Structure 1
Amino acid sequence: MTKRAGERPPAPEPLPVPVVDAHTHLDACGAKTPEDVKALLDRAGAAGVDRVVTVADDLDSARWVVEAAGWDDRVFAAVALHPTRTADFGEAEQAELARLAAHPRVVAIGETGLDYYWDYSPPEAQQVAFRWHVELAKRTGKPLMIHDRDAHEDVLTVLDAEGAPPEVVFHCFSGDLDFARRCVDRGFTLSFAGTATFRNAHALREAARWVPGDHVLVETDAPFLTPHPYRGRPNEPYCANYTLRDLATLREADLAELAAMITRNAERIFGLRDAVRS
């Protein structure tokens, strides 16, 4: 953890090619108004992060991200009920999420999946909700954004049993090289957050080094998981710049080429060019 833990990391040098932050939480970053969202996106844009997918974790957040995606052309939304919030998941919640998922600025169903680290929701309830979200992604034709914490095997078991939608993104990928291979073999995309820059995350960094370029996204999960060397400070979408630079070095890749490929991946997976503003 760095000193000045309450301060944002300094503004980085702009990227040579713009990139998309594939997973952030603008509301958790403190944004409440259109002006707040604009300020966050202006800071991101100055660093070369020109668009974001802001992700819900409960119903209030789902309503907010859809509204925020209408405030700024650089913002897109993803809606779901986070697995830790699925202890009570019934018809009312399903109807509301299905309604929000149909919005044209919603570009993914997520974050959904399994979380066995926390005990807020029983595994059985999480699995029921996860299966419902898989079906929603297939019904809407939108990619599925996976939250997987200490649940690798069960996540793959559910996806294999239910039949995964055409596009699946493992948000904040946390597996090792073997798990990365198994995901890519299934056609899934792996999104890397600041954790991939942590110098003690050897197995994760090995996976990030290997993953084929057309299966990679970059994200912040802001305000969490601030990348090295600013671990412990508040995260924001502009910090995807730091993670991307670290990935380029790790992969011995040209920064501009990697940024361009990740941007193409995000545009293809999330259909960003087709998502209209209402």
Structure 2
Amino acid sequence: MTLSEGQPAFLREREPSDRTEQAYPPLPEALVVPVYDNHTHLEIAHGADPIDYHEQLDRASAVGVRGVVQVGTDLETSRWSAEQAAREPRMLAAVAIHPNEAPGYDAAGGLDDALAEIADLASWPRVRAVGETGLDFYRTGEAGLAAQYRSFEAHIEIAKENGIALQIHDRDAHAEVIATLQRVGAPERTVFHCFSGDAELAAICAENGWYMSFAGNVTFKNAGNLREALEVAPRALLLVETDAPYLTPMPFRGRPNAPYLVPHTLRAMAAHLGTDVSMLAAQISSNSELVYGRWDDEPVQAS
């Protein structure tokens, strides 16, 4: 099934590129013990033959990925995430203004209103996280940093006020993210989405009880720092994600990613740690439910 022309623009396939023209990889061998993809963007259609998000979830179910956290990055995608999670039992939602989006809202005079709407969405029963929020010094220059900090701190407070998890986007800003969390006070359940640090950052996260979520890039040949961090991270603080449609794990790097490809990342993590895949899956599944709650503890609405 492909996305129809009648859907909102942000749900349609993005402009093709060398990366997005590739086909989706085949289904991996199913996991014996199921897990969750705790960070994905199903609103983004990629590839030569984009897959509707319902089929994405069906494929995930077929290989032992029992649920996902669908993540918003602006008002439009946060609304969509919350609305779909309210109707889809395999989906929970996270809502936020991405740090790279915050300066644009601020320049237009709309950041405070956007944050107020995120706060409203965060109160919905099947919205279980505020994110992705944080700091990104890679794409945003000096002029946008004040808006990033203000947005990040507001998101931290929204998560604490609603008693839900915080999903952090941290790019080239490790020290500043840590300093902000310690100054403002991190929520009880704080997740470093797509963990991008090294063993030193993993030790700091472990000391503070912050969760570390590993994506497909932990399988990349040049990602030795991530595998070293994985060795340091306590098993009780490990999560797994896709960040789909990006960061497709080996051996399919460069092709579109999707929640059904989590088994590749999980198996690579287990192999590096020298542990049984099912044991690691059971631990990560338990961790996911501790962070976000159970996927079936709030009824969904009729479509």
- Point out where structure 2 has 5 or more consecutive residues left out of the alignment: 1-17
Query: Is the contact between residue 191 and residue 217 of structure 1 (CA under 8 Å) also seen in structure 2?
Result: yes
Shift of 1:68: 1.1
User: Residue 274 of structure 1 is aligned with which of 260, 284, 297?
Assistant: 297
Rounded to whole Å, the distance in 2 between the matches of 1:64 and 1:128 is 24
Distance 2:115 2:226 in 1: 34
Show CA shifts across 1:68-115 (max 9, x none).
112320011000000000012432112211111110010100000000
Please give the alpha-carbon distance, in whole angstroms, between the structure 2 residues aligned to 1:206 and 1:241: 20
CA distance in 2, matches of 1:81, 1:93: 8
- Residue in 2 that maps onto 1:14: 30
Deviation at 1:275, TM superposition (A): 3.8
**Residue 186 of structure 2 corresponds to which residue in structure 1?**
164
Report which stretch shifted further, 124-133 or 202-211: 202-211
The residue aligned with 1:25 is 41
Which residue matches 1:224?
246
Query: Please, which of 82, 89, 92 is the counterpart of residue 98 of structure 2?
Result: 82
TM-score, normalized by length of structure 2? Answer: 0.87
Whether contact under 8 Å (1:134, 1:165) holds in the other structure is yes
> What is the aligned partner in structure 1 of residue 198 from structure 2?
176
Query: What is the alpha-carbon distance in structure 2 between the residues aligned to residue 221 and residue 44 of structure 1?
Result: 14
SS of the counterpart of 2:176?
A: helix
How far residue 119 of structure 1 moved from its aligned partner, in angstroms, is: 2.1
Cα RMSD between the aligned structures? 1.8
Q: Which residue of 1 aligns with 2:138?
A: 117
Matched positions, count: 273
Task: Report what 1:46 is aligned to.
Answer: 62
State the alpha-carbon separation in 1 of the partners of residues 21 and 226 from structure 2. 25
Which amino acid in 2 is paired with 1:83? P
Partner Cα separation in structure 1 for residue 168 and residue 298 of structure 2: 21
**Greater RCO, 1 or 2 (C-alpha within 8 Å, sep 6+):** 1
For the pair 1:247 / 2:269, whether they are aligned, the reply is yes
In structure 2, the partner of 1:233 is 255
| One-letter amino acid of the counterpart of residue 8, structure 1 | Y
Residue 19 of structure 2 contacts residue 256 of structure 2 at CA under 8 Å; is this kept in 1? no
Q: C-alpha displacement at 1:3, in angstroms? A: 10
Secondary structure, aligned partner of 1:124: helix
Distance in 1 between residues matched to 2:82 and 2:193, nearest whole Å: 19
CA distance in 2, matches of 1:64, 1:5: 25
The one-letter code sitting in structure 1 at the alignment partner of 2:282 is A
Deviations 1:247-267 (A, max 9, x none): 000111110010011000001
**Structure 2: how far apart are the matches of 1:92 and 1:119?**
21
> What residue identity is the alignment partner of 2:66?
D
Displacement of 1:13: 0.4
Q: In the alignment, is the contact (CA less than 8 A) between 2:115 and 2:151 conserved in 1?
A: no
Q: Which runs of 5+ in 1 are unaligned?
A: none
- 1:194 paired residue among 191, 212, 216: 216
Q: What corresponds to 2:14 in structure 1?
A: none
1:93 aligns with 2:114: yes
